[in-house]
Amino acid sequence: MPGPGRIYFDNAATTPVDPRVAAAMQPFLYGAFGNPSSMHTEGLQARHAVEQSRQQVADLLGCNLSEIVFTGSGTEADNMAIAGVFRALQDRPFHLITSAIEHPAVLEVCRYVAACGATVSYLPVDGNGIVSPDDLVQAIRPETRLISIMAANNVTGVLQPVAELGRIAREHNILFHTDAVQAAGKTAINVERHDVTLLSLSAHKMYGPKGVGALIIREGTPFSPLILGGGQEGNRRSATENVAGIVGLGAACDICRREMADDAAREVRIRERLIDGVQGLAPNAYLIGHRYRRLPGHIYFGFQGVEGEAIKMLLALDELGFAVSTGSACSSHKASEPSYVLSAMGFDPFCARGALRITLGRFNTETEADRFLEIFPKTVSGLRSIQSYHHTTKETHNGTTGNHFTHA
């Protein structure tokens, strides 16, 4: 949990561990230390815990127990999904379709398979950050083997039309992977109903521990393991299982399955309160991405004329006790560079440098939102006003109006 007096609004980077998750993990951190592959009582106890967690993951995502592979992270799951399918099918022409706004865990492995002989197509997004199903259809070739489109973007929080994209993939007999690291546990995803072949998730984005994730690989999917050894996880990911971490992931999935609807309703109320409040206090604030097709607690603001001051705003808020971000935690070392996600959405390089991400979670309250709105004017009053040499346009997308910047 955040330190005394601090308010944590960066749940897209990582979530605090739910105390109930920590309680479930505790026996496997201090007492039940057996290796799940051992045949004695301690080993069988660990194996039972792993399999119980597998059931909890399956219950959340609607898959079979045998289709779940526990991993060390969401990044590893993304790498396994794409490289594992490519390696299994590399004896034939291999075309992969992804989007321009994927997480680096997908984009980097796409570059890797391209260097190994695959052809990769990157779909654009519209001004709201959404992939067009029509663009996907147009990109499909006879040699297209895999489509990888994220369920929700980690920077903007915008939800992709996963069910429609999955249906298109199924109709063309193409494997479909979705990076659900941001979406799992926050919005309903069912691999059967959404025609998902492979799905990646991570525990620390859903109130579980860091260092554990999972990859769903539907039955019959061609797959070649990347980690070889003792044959754990159905010979798809060898290594002694992280029992305590897996128990934490299972407990997190179980809590999300039972409480996701209530969490989402509360986060949407706080989100809308913050959006209206910030735009009322700062007329130059504009919401980036679709107003409603986004994760329940995800807000991404741009500030016209002071885009270059986003880091200063973050640091000012941090001094006042608020943890927020300017974008993906995975790209914080590139904070001075234009965001490739915003660039793909049509923002010019200047405006793509500055934005403020506020991401809510299970433990945030309306009182915290009110406190933020109370101190927010202090963070903007001292910012250097910059008259942008770029212009804005107002466009209507899917029934909502939003501001975004275009090339001058």
Instruction: Say what angle helices 310-319 and 366-381 make with each other, to 10 degrees.
Output: 120
Got the DSSP string for 265-323? HHHHHHHHHHHHHHHHH-TTEEE-S-SSSB-TTEEEEEETT-GGGHHHHHHHHHHTTEE
288 or 308, higher pLDDT: 288
At residue 397, the pLDDT reads 34
At residue 408, the pLDDT reads 24
Got the DSSP string for 109-171? HHHHHHHTT-EEEEE---TTS---HHHHHHH--TTEEEEE--SB-TTT-BBP-HHHHHHHHHH
pLDDT in tens, 228-284: 999 999 999 999 999 999 999 999 999 999 999 999 999 999 999 999 999 999 988
At residue 353, the pLDDT reads 74
pLDDT in tens, 320-376: 999 999 875 555 555 567 889 999 999 988 777 778 999 999 999 999 999 999 999
pLDDT band at 224 (very low <50, low <70, confident <90, very high): very high
- pTM of the prediction? 0.91
pLDDT in tens, 19-35: 999 999 999 999 889 99
Residue type, 212: V
- Please give the Cα distance from 186 to 192 (Å, whole number): 18
What mean pLDDT is predicted for residues 36-41? 94
pLDDT band at 407 (very low <50, low <70, confident <90, very high): very low
At residue 1, the pLDDT reads 66
At residue 334, the pLDDT reads 57
pLDDT at 406 over 50: no
The tokens describing 60, both together, are 């959340």
Do 304 and 284 form a contact (C-beta atoms < 8 A)?
A: yes
- Please give the Cα distance from 169 to 153 (Å, whole number): 20
pLDDT band at 380 (very low <50, low <70, confident <90, very high): confident
Catalytic machinery residues: 330
Q: Is 30 exposed, middle or buried (0-12, 13-18, 19+ CB in 10 A)?
A: exposed
- Please give the Cα distance from 362 to 263 (Å, whole number): 6
pLDDT band at 304 (very low <50, low <70, confident <90, very high): confident
At residue 327, the pLDDT reads 73
At residue 331, the pLDDT reads 52
pLDDT in tens, 130-182: 999 999 999 999 999 999 999 999 999 999 999 999 999 999 999 999 999 99
pLDDT in tens, 43-96: 999 999 999 999 999 999 999 999 999 999 999 999 999 999 999 999 999 999
pLDDT at 389 over 50: no
Average pLDDT, the chain: 91
Helix (H) or strand (E) holding 71: strand 68-71
Q: First CA to last CA across the chain, in angstroms?
A: 45
In the sheet that holds 285-287, the strands lie side by side as 285-287, 298-303, 356-359
In the chain, what are the domains?
7-12+260-405 (3.90.1150.10), 19-256 (3.40.640.10)
Nearest to 256 by CA among 211, 206, 298: 206
Residue located via tokens 């794409």: 82
